[in-house]
Amino acid sequence: MGGAFGAYLTACQHDSSSNHAAGGSITAAVSVDDLLAREVLAACQRATAVEVVAVFDTEATKTNALESRLRAERDHPRVKLFWSSESLAVVRLAADGVLDELPDALWSAWPKQHRDEARRWLAFAARARVIVARPGRPPINQWEALATPGLARGSDAAIAIADPRFGTTNAHMAALARVWGEAAFSRWLDGLRLNGTRVLLGGNAATVEAVATGECAYAITDSDDALAAIARGVELQMFIPRTLPVGVRGGGTMLIPNTIGLVANGPGDAAAAAQVIEYLISPACEELIARSPSRNLPLNPLLAKRDDLRAFHEPDPLEFDPLAVSASAQAVALMAKRRLEGAPDQ
């Protein structure tokens, strides 16, 4: 990382209140949890003097709803930025021409594995797809193990999962189908159904709650929801299962980064929007998010060796083609919902 941008990132490690923008106001579509987003955007305004007016949507379907809104408004966009809590919606919008190229100073300074090759988005502050259970339940070290016959025997609802049509569950199911192949993925879904799976409409937080109350034995969720519950005093185990066998490179669990992109022809000052993006990927911001209840994993290289900022460890995250996964996500979601709810032949 070099040049003025690298110098700014280094400085932000020491002074998160550095005010280097001319001010102004922009509007952003935001699918991140409201409380975290508002804290981050307040810190961003202190650091940059740019006010960000956030447009939110509902908890369970917010990323999908905002993606649909941005696509519907593409000829007359009402927002300048899209800050997404996951990546597939941003990948689809970029492929459809809804997002604009980022300034080269931002794009070129960011690690290659966390940026779009076509310069339309950057990824930062990642969560992991995890499994939670109450203490005493056997660990789940492979995603495939959730389909083991008789899992949590004696329970008619061994597994809680959020509606696969939405959010990170949608992305995760599409990635598993891509990596495993459709036949193996379908068998896994059928195994989950036979073990007693409940598809919940309340999102990943609802699946954690189902385990906390004893309704389900295991829950598929995101690390931020699991860690937030543990921080509240809920007694939970959190497992980080592998997707592929041990020894297969790029076969760990799926990481779900935040992503940020510029909306093409969106209203507002481009320089102010760039200042907001610059802040979001700064060490100051990623440390703020890492220390928040969500405990996201920083992706900024300057924070990579900070053990105090890592609430979980995934040294070998799942590797997959995000464009191919995003293209298949809707069809995979519909198939997954049918099979999980008992209609495998449709």
* pLDDT tens digit sequence for 89-135: 999 999 999 999 999 999 999 999 999 999 999 999 999 999 999 99
CA distance 55 to 29: 5
Residue 6, pLDDT > 50, answer: no
Beta-bridge partner residues of 126: 257, 297
Q: Regarding beta strands 218-222 and 159-162, do their DSSP bridges make them parallel or antiparallel, or are they unpaired?
A: parallel
Domains detected in the chain: 3-126+256-315 (3.40.190.10), 128-253+324-340 (3.40.190.10)
Tokens encoding 38 = 């508002």
Output the CA torsion sign for 261, 63, 35, 135.
Answer: negative
Tokens encoding 254 = 């799926």
Tokens encoding 187 = 């068998």
DSSP state of 115: B
Query: What is the pTM assigned to this prediction?
Result: 0.87
State the number of CA atoms in the 13 A half-sphere of 129 facing the CB.
27
Q: Is 86 exposed, middle or buried, given 0-12, 13-18 or 19+ CB atoms closer than 10 A?
A: buried
User: pLDDT tens digits, residue range 236-286?
Assistant: 999 999 999 999 999 999 999 999 999 999 999 999 999 999 999 999 999
